[in-house]
Amino acid sequence: MCGIVGVVGAEDALPILLQGLQRLEYRGYDSAGIALSGPEGLALSKAKGKVSMLAARQDLLPRALPCGIAHTRWATHGAPTDENAHPHTDCHGQIAVVHNGIVENYRELKGELMARGHRFVSDTDTEVIPHLLEDYGGATDLLTAARNTEARLQGAYAFLAVSGQQPDYVVAVRRASPLIIGRGDAANYIASDFTAFLDATRRAIVLENGDMAAVTPKTIRIWNEQGALVDRPEMTVDWDIRQAERGGYPHFMLKEILEQPEAWSDCLLERVQGERIQVEAMGLARAALAGWERIQIVAAGTAYHAGLVGKALIETLARIPVDVDVASEFRYRDPILLPNTLVLAVSQSGETADTLASLALAKQRGLATYAITNTVGSTVAREAGAVGYTYAGPEIAVASTKAYTTQILLLTALALALADARHRARTDLVAKLASLPALAEQWLAASEGIRLAAQSLTDQEQMFYIGRGIDYALAMEGQLKMKEISYIHAEAYPAGELKHGTLALITEGVPVVAIATQPRLMAKVQSNVAEVKARGARVYAVGAAALQESWGDDSLATIAAPDPLLAPALAALPLQLLAYWTASLRGEDIDKPRNLAKSVTVE
């Protein structure tokens, strides 16, 4: 959600900031802005809409200034307007701030500041920050002012501040929302995400929660939440920047769907060896596996759907009871967490606010915690007791594809490892798991039929997804993808629930996607398909290859999984492509769907 970029010490900060903003567009935003700091003071430019609109106004900004901050905003307080776009400044235009997250007590602070004569020009919570900095003398001593300001703020946020009187100085504050510093030779960089500065440097320092940093062209000083000067470890980012660029594809989402065979190989590499899961390569100690009597999964959105697949696999293979909660609900239901429960947090970005709060609750209860994430150095990775990375590589499209399927693969590996620890080893499945990347590549190479099927959906207003058992979890993800990017209203139901109300909505021509990858449930799903066809529905079936004949003309995609329990990741591919091609044929903005953001760092 939103994106922050900063640079200090550059020969010309403007093009670096614009490129950084473009790299962060995938996070979701509705306006953008830049503030440059130089010997003559601050220069600002802000625009509602895309970064390209801001770039078109770059001639209005001075060049060859060494320092600047920039932002892509996703509206939380105040509508998307030029006035509400970041950066925001103090009364005299000497201090500029960009900010992610929410200042929860901004109304109280704003009232206090206005009573002292401060003038506000936006509807945002952010604007209280530069005015507080002004009150504390930030124009000439930005660091001290930031310390005093940060002590007044409540919420989850990150911000950068610059002063026109200190043109070689950026102060960065991180409380919950991510910030990363890139260490260069003659300049240093700050951003919400590695991708913003990968062209300039691969050396990165991840700020911890509560950290404050003072960054100059040659120095990086960091203080922790207690005010002590600390050294944070430096890491090397090994992503290929080409992975974060479209490479000729019309959309990042299509590129990332087609990258899944490679992502799956990276995810399983070193974790699947012969007939056994290498637990240590998943970030776990083998000795710990046998001690967990229950598992509690917390996640949001697509990661929640992956968690439902994980529940089915763990319970089937390891016979350990698993609960799965939407993270935003978990804390507020006063959950009963028994001893010897593993709390497993699943998050693509590793910065999902609700998931992090759920993880914190588990730690307060003294429980073991494990995180599955794609983002090295993310907050969830650092806060959890152990972490397994999905190694999907950068995922730019807001709608998750390869991050989701690699979550499923890692959860499958965890289920097999837990089964082994309970003397229920399935060595046959471990060996077959390694074959999935090649099977995915084969299926994707012959997937043109999905595009043809999508042509019949472009004029639809609603559709339904049905499945039973593990296929219902897949149906939930399939419908989410469809409505995320095509804006067709889609709903998922357990196939057996149709007769309990939903059949009232099945009329002539309504599309129904039926998922049946589990042979033992095939007859039941076919009966449900007959129910909707009898009422005129148009059926699109995703099922096991061995069952292809039984679907007849309804077949959308057949999945050649080596075992039904390994079908979910493969079955996700046609569901992703059906949503993609439907949205593409409708002419939608696929990579940046309206109102959505990649990393949800607020509750």
Could you report the per-residue pLDDT of 229-254, keeping only the tens digit for each?
A: 999 999 988 766 665 566 668 899 99
Q: 303 φ, ψ to 5°?
A: -65, -35
CATH classification of 3-238 is 3.60.20.10, yes or no? yes
598 among known catalytic residues = yes
* Residue 538: per-residue pLDDT: 87
CA distance readout (Å), 537 to 396, 451, 513, 530, 553: 35, 20, 10, 9, 13
* Residue 374: per-residue pLDDT: 87
Distance CA 521, CA 514 (A): 12
Return residue ranges of the chain for CATH 3.60.20.10: 3-238
67 among known catalytic residues = no
Task: Assign 535 to helix, strand or coil.
Answer: coil
> What CA dihedral angle connects 97, 99, 102 and 104, to 10 degrees?
-20
Whose tokens are 């609603």? That residue is 462
Which CATH fold topology does 242-445 show? Rossmann fold (3.40.50)
DSSP state of 537: P
Distance CA 583, CA 547 (A): 29
Q: Could you tell me if residue 350 is left (phi over 0), alpha (psi between -120 and 50 degrees) or otherwise beta?
A: left
Q: How far is CA 520 from the centre of its chain?
A: 35
Residue among 197, 148, 146 nearest 8 (CA): 197
**What's the CATH code, domain 448-593?**
3.40.50.10490
Distance CA 82, CA 98 (A): 14
Give the pLDDT confidence of 337-381 residue by residue, as tens digits: 899 999 999 998 888 888 888 898 889 899 999 999 987 778 888
| Residues in a beta bridge with 229 | 223
Question: What's the pTM value of the predicted model, to 2 decimals?
Answer: 0.70
Helical segments of 235-371, H only: 252-258, 260-268, 286-289, 302-318, 327-330, 353-364
Q: Could you tell me if residue 287 is left (phi over 0), alpha (psi between -120 and 50 degrees) or otherwise beta?
A: alpha
Q: What are the residue ranges in the chain where pLDDT is below 70? A: 1, 26-28, 239-248, 498, 504, 545-554, 597-603
* Residue 174: per-residue pLDDT: 94
Which one-letter amino acid corresponds to residue 106? Answer: Y
Helical segments of 182-301, H only: 252-258, 260-268, 286-289
Which of 255, 311, 592, 598 is catalytic? The answer is 598
Q: 141 φ, ψ to 5°?
A: -140, 80
Which of 2, 255, 267, 592 is catalytic? The answer is 2
Return residue ranges of the chain for CATH 3.40.50.10490: 242-445, 448-593
Task: Assign 590 to helix, strand or coil.
Answer: coil
Distance CA 147, CA 154 (A): 13
Pull the structure tokens for residue 17. 């900031």
